[in-house]
A and B are shown apart, each in its own frame.
Chain A
Amino acid sequence: MKMTAKQRAYFVREMEETFGRSEAESNQMVEQLQRVLSGQDQEIVYALQYSLFRNEDHPEYVRKLIHFLFHGFSYLYRSAETEEEREQLHVGNEMLFNYLFVDRYLYATTMERRSNAAQHILKNVSDQLNDLLTTQERMLANLSHEMRTSLNAITGYLALIEENHVLRGEEAQYLEKAQSGAQSLQSLVKDLLDITKLNSNQLEIHAEYFSPHAMLLDAINHVPIMDNPHVVFGFVPAFFPYRVRGDKMHTMEVVINFLSNAFKYTEAGNVKLEMHVETLPRGVQIGFRVTDTGVGMTPEQVENIFTPYSRYQMTKQGLGLGMYIAKQLTERLGGTLHVSSTPGAGSAFEVRFIFDDIQPVECPHRGKKIFVFLESEEARFAEDEKADFFRASGVDVQVYHDEAMVIGYLLDPQSETPDILVIHGTPSTYTKFDPLIYYLRSQRRFDRTLFLAEETGIPLPLKYFDEVCQYSFDVSRYCKIFTERSEKKREAVVESDTTLRILVVDDITTNRDIFKLFVQKRYPHAEIDTAGGGHEALAMCRLVSYDVMFLDLKMPGLDGYQLLQRLQTDHPALPPVYAFSADVYKETYRRVKESGFTGLLEKPLQPEKLFALIEELST
């Protein structure tokens, strides 16, 4: 079909109005339309089809195009001059209808079906991945928990070995290495547990009142700050006699991570921990800042530092989880984290928390006396704030600067005894005062005085000071120490210096361990040996003379009765031997007595009965 001049003019006008084309462009498009109508250009049909089906980003254009096509066909049909032309247009219209509706409908249905199938596959994959992640997280959590339990047992037993001082020389070094290895593993397992909890939103926030200064002292204790002699550590706390309400443990963990990181990446130089307090209209903002003069980081490394498993020096130990955990914890606790770094010059990490619930530290020393010996003038400034705080609380604080005067005072039998005596000096001063305290105590003098070594700067082997702190004591620590000391005193009253040698025989390790711990807690000087069976006990009795024995009655091999019989044969002068049993019937008591046991101790172990029995033996 060939368009008439009138028809062409209509289409040019329509093109201009509908699509905003110029006259030349419209003429060109009408020319293309003519070729379509004449069946000369199939390519344009496909282009048109594409425009209708795929031009989803321009729905207004598609709407205009459809409108244009329908109106165009309608106009051509109306203005057609012959039946043949109308027939051709009728076919064309059918094709257009097919393009616009049937094909598009089929296309849309196909796409929808494909989309549904894709979504179904994606959902399945997503479910499977989620299941896998959940399983992995659960597995990791279980594994970490089991590992932590076992590691606690290992470190617990290693600590017991260390406390017993049974290993000497090279073997003691092996123990030290084993402890160090166990601690590293504990730290890794803790990180894994933390990350599992953080990822699964299971981290529990425990709000409690705590002293930020005391928390920082605890954090310092968790970091091996003395391991590298080339790194000097500095601690600058703010005087802040308040307790804040927040999650102490997790806050401390953030600071520990900062400190660990600083020490890890500083071969030589300085690491400093500072605390800043800013008063806000409601509450306070506290910043904990750790700066180091270590390797520093590039901007890219700073950007990645909080990514899990990232370490900016692969030669360093660790999983690269510390800073990630620190950031996650900070966010969970509602804090903000700031980092700045310069390659080769060092880094600074700071975390800030806002605490809107604070309590002033209560001073339990009202009406008491604190004597302070300040050796240097420099220390006076820091101590002045503390002294003012105690004075404001009604404590009598007296500060001395003359060493000879303090020593004279301590040696004078007429001197008044303060409740707390603080020494703040050089290492040689502390080591000088240490034996003096021993002498005073041996003379039963200053018995009720608490001796504190404040801000020693380095760890010193002081034996007779009640409390020693490398850094400045927090005021809340004074209160805590005082309370703990009262408790210790109470314990000391009941703690005995009994030096009995005790043998415990039981086939179950747990029963032996429990027995041993109970005795050791009350009688630290007693020597306790354990045997897992009758034959082992017999062998031990050949080597060692015991003051008392406790035998489980029912054991594989030789039972308690048989063991006693053998012991009676082998050792005519047998010490007191007690039966130890969970079977506490009249019949058991009768048989125990008849067999020659001194008595029967029932399971579960009743410490008071056991202690009464040992006391009786000691006297």
Chain B
Amino acid sequence: MKAIVKYRAVYLMMLPIIAYFLIFAYYPLVRGFVISFQQFRLIGDRPFVGLDNYAQVLKDSAFWDTFANTLIIGGSILAIGFIMPIALALLLNEVFASWFKKIVQMVVYLPHLFSWVVVGGMWIMMLSPDTGIVNQLLLALGAEKPIGFMSQEAYARPVMVFTAVWKEVGFTCILYLAAIVSINPSLYEAARIDGANRWHLVRYVTLPQLVSTMKVVLMLHVMSVLKMFDQIFVMRNGAIAGKVDVIMMYTYQKGILEFQIGMATAAGFLVILATLIITFVIRILIRYDEE
């Protein structure tokens, strides 16, 4: 209490931020939580129905289908999206021509700046069976017929994973490059004196020094994996919906298209719960709190 009085000016300055979070984050969150227990009507009374909405969601096979899709697509993005930026950062770190390094960095970073509307539209066009560049190349290389990447179930999930990784690889790579720059050069020098070659330097100096960055990147990705929506909304179509519709598409369908707000909020809170569980499990697995 004494501290509050002593630093009251600082606490006062914090008030707008606390108010912001209370009004725009926690209040809607709590309202949503309440709604998830109600039979929602746009106007008039909204009777409480206990866990009915949750039961309805959990009994809905469409929810479990989208949940499975989310885990498969999200898990793949998490795994491949974790390895690729590290590999890219390590490769770029080995490049001596700085102009080339800067150009590559810029080119791989660019997709991160565009919204999914742009990136998704671009990939749909590039993967088109008749005029898309990917199929043109495949045909030039001797493929028998064009592939409907965006309309065949077998390719649907890999395409989503690939494009998601492609879009974010540059951004995450820059985080690793920044971490690599801050590694103490004397560690490399000591290793070289001990007879380490370039591979040894990467394996025994660079990678261990990147572990804390890896943990942060992994945690950030884990927390957002179940929230995936924009990409799927832009890139899905009726032919592949069954394989790529994720859990947030389910809440969108229930809430906005069908106005079943009770079910939509219940599904939303199940996502939050699942995110919490997954995050805690990953924290324990990677020993996030340990140095």
A, B assembled together: no
Q: Chain A interface (Cβ within 8 Å of chain B)?
A: none
